[in-house]
Amino acid sequence: MRALEAIRRANLPGPPEDSVRLRVACTGTVLVAIAACTSVGEVTPPTAAIAMVLVCVGMVVSHRTRTRPPGWVKVVVAVGAVAAFVWFFHSLTSVAGISSIDGPLSLLLVLVLAAHSFHVPARRDLLFSLAASAGLMAVAGAQAIDVQFGLFVVAWVGCGLWSLSELWISSSGGGRMSVTGLACALSALGATAVAVFLVLPAPVVSSRASFVSAAGAGGAIGVPGALAGDSGTPAQLSQAGAPGGRIRVGGYLGFAGSLDTALRGDLATTLVMQVRAQRPSYWVGETFDTWRGQSWTESQPPARPITGGSPFVLPVAAGEVGLGQSDLQTFYVAGSTADVVFHAESADELWFPTSRVFDSTDGTVVSPIGLGSGSIYTVESQVTVPTAAQLAGDHSAQSLPPTALERFEQLPHPYPRAQALARAVTAGDTTTYAKVQSLIGWIGRHTHYSLAIPPLPAGADTVDEFLFGNRVGFCEQISTSLAVMLRSLGIPAREAVGYVPGGYNPITDLWQIHANDAHAWVQVWFPGYGWQDFDPTAVVPNANPSPGATALKSVAAALRRVPWVPVAVAVAVGAALVTVVRRRRARPPTWAAHVAHSAERAGRRAGRPRRPGETLTEYAEALDELTGGGQATWRRLARSVEASAYGAIEPPAGEQRAMVAEARRARLPRRAGAPARVATG
């Protein structure tokens, strides 16, 4: 019976909440949270609009019936909440392999908030709405991919703080919050939020709850399975140049069936896509095995279709191990890009918004639709992460099949000078790994990276021109030269193109990839570990950084760019102006006030402040006594001041200035009883 009584007391309705402002503030938090979920696609706009209307109507009904809530309202709200939970669990169990819990969870919270709004008579009921809106914001924030979502956060925090302040006012019976107290509370809240942000660990991507995909605005492709860079549609990263032109300089071709190193790239800084990943990586799009002296091509058969829908199970590519650490990446396309599906090493499964995709034996995955703004896909890769010691181990008992070796050691003609250079650089190395590192080190010391390089002469070989000509190039010329030198030593190597991670956004926890992050690098085959990435011109971090460390690094970089000398001069000038203005404002308005102010200041310095109710004449007599009684300077000045104040007897302007100057110059002993010293001019 005691348990039943405790349950009954716990469920007794609280006192009705009469504050309209508190109810409006809580309603605002709920509406902002619903709008935030809609902005990230977790709730459809029609559903959000209906829910917002129901919340507003429900809050009005709850306020009007707060003293005597109708019993039928409780029943309807309870039935609606139970129905929402039944639908939620049915959604999770009825669809095999559900890709994400976020969508159903968001809709569940929206439905519960809409139903609950019809029965919020008491303060604790409003607090439930406030807490549920916080959960809705958390779900929306987990899916946000740009800093514009911060506007919803600011609006929600504003409504939340308003709700809490109104809650305090209501619970205190109409008390007022001081401006100072509110400012201190907000400062403490802000400092706490910054401190928490700075100590947040690096993000961890869920391995079984983030399989997201969306078609976006890419549109159709004329030849499904063909590369957009070959046809020029639906988009290229920039306008292609013509090899036969006068200067043979043009834009990057995008991802195509060949990579022409005779063209000079000129990429923009536009945002291409954002990536949420378990770890940063070279996100590969294509690989090439056949070098022709100026361009790379892929000798394997064209892409073959894979059907069945998400998740697509991708076959293990030639030369890959197919086993390793699971690495999940979600790509959010921001603008039109190539129809290549980017991924980390050895793509295993793909969640994509189509019923088929195209896959090549080298691991290249091609989309059957254009990838434009709003496109989303998720890839799970198997990534091998061997240590340097493991790669430097003895692999002599393992090798690629002869046909594969022929492909990845192929050269269009002998490279005697490149081979001699490679042998000289690696003369003391006994392992493949050591030879790769030695060649990378030599390239770093003896060549120069630049996009502003001269055109390749007609008929010239890119590698010979780079290594024994100008030694200036960008990623394509540098990586190609490394691959050719490795092949000349009998080491299997191939050219890979894709993107480096770009910059990390600590607010969204996403890697931001721009057009100029397009990159070419070398993959070297190691027995037991498959194709491993090596790059003479870029470094990929080993793990996602913490948001706080990234933010502090960005702030430090911004501070290093600040011109501190002009800033210091400006601050000093501003401080001087403020000081002058404040002193002018604090200056007594009349000569009499000047004299009185000087007397009080001199008395404080001497340890004899003016007492409450003490007239100026009485105070002046006390000051004169501090001098030993031999002078009556302060008494004389005080009488002139009182004659002006009470007798309207104003001395001439010259005498006024003289008395003000005399009062400023007058000095008193620092301690009572000390020898009198008065300076009067």
Tell me, what's the pLDDT at 95? 47
Mean pLDDT in residue range 113-119: 85
Residues 181, 278 within the same domain: no
Residues 134, 255 within the same domain: no
Summarised one tens digit per residue, pLDDT across range 327-380 is 899 999 887 777 889 999 889 999 998 899 999 888 899 888 888 888 889 999
Summarised one tens digit per residue, pLDDT across range 625-643 is 887 766 788 888 888 888 8
Alpha helices in 427-563, H assignment, sequence order: 432-446, 462-465, 475-488, 547-560
Closest CA to 432 of 298, 523, 345, 325: 523
Residues 25, 166 within the same domain: yes
Residues 93, 242 within the same domain: no
DSSP letter string, 210-243: ----B-TT--B-SSTTS-HHHHT-S--SSPBP-T
- The percent of residues above 90 in pLDDT, for the chain, comes to 18
Tell me, what's the pLDDT at 636? 85
Give the DSSP H/E element, type plus range, for residue 473. strand 472-473
Q: Which two tokens stand for residue 115?
A: 């139903």
Question: Is pLDDT of 247 > 80?
Answer: no
> Which one is predicted more confidently, 503 or 414?
414
Q: Is residue 670 part of a domain?
A: no
Looking up tokens 């969640």 gives 351
Q: Is residue 478 part of a domain?
A: yes
**Which residues neighbour 250 within 8 Å (Cβ) at sequence distance 6 or greater?**
239, 240, 241, 242, 263, 264, 266
Tell me, what's the pLDDT at 514? 85
Closest CA to 164 of 184, 179, 186: 186
Q: Is the bond leading into 243 cis (omega within 30 degrees of zero)?
A: no
Q: Is residue 422 part of a domain?
A: yes
Strands 472-473 and 448-449, by their bridges, are parallel
Tell me, what's the pLDDT at 278? 86
Q: How confident is the model at residue 139 (pLDDT cuts 50, 70, 90)?
A: confident
Summarised one tens digit per residue, pLDDT across range 271-305 is 888 998 888 889 999 899 999 998 898 888 777 89
pTM of the model: 0.68
Q: Is residue 559 part of a domain?
A: no
Q: How confident is the model at residue 616 (pLDDT cuts 50, 70, 90)?
A: confident
> Which one is predicted more confidently, 22 or 174?
22
- The percent of residues above 70 in pLDDT, for the chain, comes to 80
Among 182, 199, 216, residue at a domain's last position = 199
Among 180, 199, 218, residue at a domain's last position = 199
Tell me, what's the pLDDT at 485? 95
* 3-class SS of residue 203: coil
Mean pLDDT in residue range 586-595: 78
Instruction: Please provide the average confidence, as pLDDT, over all residues in the chain.
Output: 80
Residues 182, 297 within the same domain: no
Question: Is pLDDT of 500 > 80?
Answer: yes
Summarised one tens digit per residue, pLDDT across range 422-470 is 999 999 899 999 999 999 999 999 998 887 777 778 788 999 999 998 8
Tell me, what's the pLDDT at 537? 81
Q: Which two tokens stand for residue 209?
A: 């709850």
Tally DSSP H helices, then E strands, for the chain. 21, 19
Q: How confident is the model at residue 12 (pLDDT cuts 50, 70, 90)?
A: low
Q: Which two tokens stand for residue 503?
A: 């910059």
Long-range residue pairs from 671-678, CB within 8 A, at least 24 positions apart, any chain: 671/606, 671/607, 672/606, 672/607, 672/608, 672/626, 675/628, 676/626, 676/627, 676/628, 676/630, 676/631, 677/627, 678/627, 678/631, 678/633
Q: Which two tokens stand for residue 635?
A: 């008494």
Strands 347-351 and 472-473, by their bridges, are unpaired
Q: Is residue 472 part of a domain?
A: yes
Residues 175, 237 within the same domain: no
Residues 300, 432 within the same domain: yes
Tell me, what's the pLDDT at 586? 63
- The amino acid sitting at 582 is R
Tell me, what's the pLDDT at 306? 92
Number of domains in the chain: 3
- Rounded Cα–Cα distance for residues 39 and 140 (Å): 8
Of 40-54, 131-145, 192-206, give the range with the top mean pLDDT: 40-54
Q: Is residue 111 part of a domain?
A: yes
Range of the domain at 594: 584-665
Confirm if 338 and 255 have CB atoms less than 8 A apart: yes
Question: Is pLDDT of 235 > 70?
Answer: no
Mean pLDDT in residue range 176-205: 70
- Rounded Cα–Cα distance for residues 65 and 62 (Å): 5
Q: How confident is the model at residue 70 (pLDDT cuts 50, 70, 90)?
A: confident
Residues 32, 179 within the same domain: yes
Question: Is pLDDT of 231 > 70?
Answer: no
Q: Which two tokens stand for residue 398?
A: 């393992």
Residues 49, 121 within the same domain: yes
Q: Is residue 43 part of a domain?
A: yes
Mean pLDDT in residue range 84-104: 59
Summarised one tens digit per residue, pLDDT across range 55-64 is 999 899 888 8
Tell me, what's the pLDDT at 345? 86
Q: Is residue 218 part of a domain?
A: no
Residues 187, 248 within the same domain: no
Question: Is pLDDT of 608 > 70?
Answer: yes
Question: Is pLDDT of 260 > 90?
Answer: no
Residues 150, 243 within the same domain: no
Residues 323, 232 within the same domain: yes
- Rounded Cα–Cα distance for residues 564 and 669 (Å): 45
Question: Is pLDDT of 492 > 50?
Answer: yes
